[in-house]
Amino acid sequence: MKLNTINAESGKGERLDVFITKQVQEISRTTVKKMISQGLVFVDGVIAKPSLLLEGTEHVSFTLLSTETTTNKIEPEKMSLKILYEDNHLIAINKNAGITVHPGAGQNSGTLVNGLLFHFNKLSDINGSFRPGIVHRLDKDTSGVILIAKNNGAHIHLSKQFEKRVIKKKYFAITWGIFDKESGEIVSPIARSKKDPTSFIINDKGKDSKTSFSSKPLGQYTSEVSFFPLTGRTHQIRVHSASMGNPIFGDEKYGGGKTRSKGFMPEVSKKLNRILTSLGRHALHAETITFIHPQEQKEITISAEIPKELLSVKNDLTNLHV
């Protein structure tokens, strides 16, 4: 049986069994509790109880039950990948919108991981067989640059940079409305919604979250924004932007879909809805990432061109006048 190790930074304040279930979506919480009771889960090398509350600094190691490791195997799939950078240690991919990064509950195919397994013989395995090479993630409908580790040494080095917030990221976005100021910071804790576990909300009891931004008007109804997340919470930019009253254009989950256009004049609403339909995603793109190379110890910046569909929407919104 193979030992898998996960850093617990994203699980601060969570029960151990809940954290593992979220991280390894292919197994149930009941199975996780069984793994813990059988001594297959360790926190910093020590066997722990399911109810242990994580502080976020631990390393959680576990071995999947044999019934879990023999089912739902991830198969390589031929997939066109936009490779921005590659060497013996890492890969940078320009992920298309609409592609899920790794397999999860109910989806074992069509993910970026399936494509990676087809193209590359060797990837890091620190996060187990369901997430080979995956150091960080992008939401399904967020396009842009994502780093992939080819070996465990590179994976650990990059993971530590994320933990220490050394890595710098810049996102291109189009949002609803005009921002009150050209630049600033959004400092609001984020927590998972109890009503909808797939969504996140601003909550004083949530995890510390910080995003810097610079914005400029894009026509009369929207803004072009550069976001710089200083923490890496799930949906962070989307939640923070929405909390300002400026949800990401096209983001149905956080109020940026067609319902947002209902308050405008019929002629404007009709044109906005047409643009939203043609876009078919939310307007968020991971434009650049800057990190220290795990082997060369030099700072590297990798950029992913803004997709044509976002540039087209930008042009349409700039010229939208009624």
Using 50, 70 and 90 to split pLDDT, how confident is the model at 157?
A: very high
What are the tokens at 51? 């109810």
How confident is the model at residue 30, as a pLDDT? 81
| pLDDT tens-digit readout, 10-37 | 888 889 988 888 887 667 788 888 888 7
H or E, element range at 69: helix 66-69
Query: Which are the catalytic amino acids?
Result: 139
Using 50, 70 and 90 to split pLDDT, how confident is the model at 68?
A: very low
Average pLDDT over residues 232-261: 96
Range list of β-strands (E), the chain: 3-7, 41-43, 46-47, 59-63, 83-86, 90-95, 143-149, 168-176, 183-187, 190-192, 200-202, 210-218, 222-229, 284-292, 299-303
- The answer on pLDDT for 109 being more than 70 is yes
- The answer on pLDDT for 227 being more than 90 is yes
Residue with tokens 């078919």: 280
Average pLDDT over residues 175-180: 96
How confident is the model at residue 71, as a pLDDT? 43
Mean pLDDT, the chain, whole residue set: 91
| pLDDT tens-digit readout, 260-318 | 998 899 999 999 999 999 999 999 999 999 999 999 999 999 999 999 999 999 999 99
Q: Are 287 and 303 in contact (CB under 8 A)?
A: yes
Tell me, letter by letter, the H, E, C secondary structure of 94-129: EECCCCCCCCECCECCCCHHHHHHHHCCCCCCCCCC
Query: pLDDT: is 254 or 38 the higher one?
Result: 254
Could you count the other beta carbons within 10 Å of the beta carbon of residue 13? Answer: 13
Lowest mean pLDDT among 93-107, 165-179, 205-219: 93-107
- The answer on pLDDT for 69 being more than 50 is no
Domains annotated for the chain, with CATH where assigned, are 3-69 (3.10.290.10), 83-163 (3.30.2350.10), 169-286+308-318 (3.30.2350.10)
Q: Are 167 and 307 in contact (CB under 8 A)?
A: no
Residue with tokens 């150091």: 135
What are the tokens at 276? 């939203």
